């Protein structure tokens, strides 16, 4: 048995097509096609109490809420948590970038909003999650054409094998023009589901 075979997926969460799942259990469902209304309803249903949530861009809201549901279920230390974050998507922060571009392209109505500009990097959502849950470890945000279980698996294992973190929050968080999908999972040294490429793909596709 290789050393990396000792890593496990302790929990996983997904948000897509009007549904929120945690560890395979449906927690919320709403067929409202409007993302802003849907994500607000999920936030309220989950008892959200983080005022800054409403100021985030759509990508950050999606990533934050999926992370929040997953991590709140873990009963984390309230002071500091050695959890790395490794996220990915294929649209980067394009949805917010378009809004920022629209605000600066008209020279006669030039009014770039700092509230929009601050979210024109995809990894800003990682900062929001880290602040809320007091995560002080490594973090990365990769841009792939499609969900890439192989790269996420390899990177998470590398962080754990090199003692860069005690746990790794991995996954795919994509938002572009009301098309959204989040799939996150937590990798640890304890658990029942082996952290393997096959298991990651199985959880992602079911």
Residue 197 has pLDDT above 80, yes or no: yes
CATH code of the domain in which 32 resides: 3.40.47.10
Residue 31 has pLDDT above 90, yes or no: no
Domain that holds residue 199: 3-92+121-205
pLDDT digits (tens, 9 = 90+) for 95-154: 888 888 888 887 776 777 888 888 889 999 999 999 999 998 899 999 999 999 999 999
Strand partners for 15: 20, 182
pLDDT band of 1, cuts 50, 70, 90 = very low
Residue 148 lies in a domain: yes
- Over pLDDT 90: what percentage of the chain? 72
Residue 35 lies in a domain: yes
Residue 52 lies in a domain: yes
pLDDT for res 104:
82
Residue 185 has pLDDT above 90, yes or no: yes
Residue 104 lies in a domain: no
Residue 194 has pLDDT above 90, yes or no: yes
Residue 17 lies in a domain: yes
Residue 108 lies in a domain: no
Residue 83 has pLDDT above 90, yes or no: yes
pLDDT band of 189, cuts 50, 70, 90 = very high
Task: Mean pLDDT check: name the lowest of 28-42, 99-113, 148-162.
Answer: 99-113
Residue 182 lies in a domain: yes
Q: How many domains does the chain have?
A: 1
> What is the chain's mean pLDDT, rounded?
92
Residue 188 lies in a domain: yes
């Amino acid at each position: 048995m290789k050393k990396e075979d000792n890593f496990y997926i302790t929990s996983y969460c997904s948000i897509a097509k009007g549904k929120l799942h945690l560890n395979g259990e449906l927690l919320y469902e709403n067929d409202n096609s409007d993302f802003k209304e849907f994500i607000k309803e999920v936030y309220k249903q989950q008892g959200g109490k983080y005022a800054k949530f409403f100021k985030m861009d759509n990508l950050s809201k999606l990533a934050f809420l999926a992370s929040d549901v997953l991590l709140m279920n873990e009963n984390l230390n309230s002071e500091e948590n050695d959890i790395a974050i490794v996220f990915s998507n294929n649209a980067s922060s394009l949805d917010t970038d378009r809004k920022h571009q629209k605000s600066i392209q008209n020279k006669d109505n030039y009014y770039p909003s700092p509230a929009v500009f601050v979210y024109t990097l995809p990894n800003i959502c990682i900062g929001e999650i880290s602040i809320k849950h007091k995560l002080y470890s490594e973090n990365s945000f990769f841009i792939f054409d499609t969900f890439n279980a192989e790269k996420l698996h390899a990177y998470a294992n590398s962080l754990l094998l090199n003692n860069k973190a005690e746990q790794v929050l991995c996954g795919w968080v994509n938002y572009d023009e009301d098309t959204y999908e989040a799939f996150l999972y937590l990798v640890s040294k304890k658990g029942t589901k082996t952290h393997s490429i096959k298991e990651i793909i199985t959880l992602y596709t079911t």
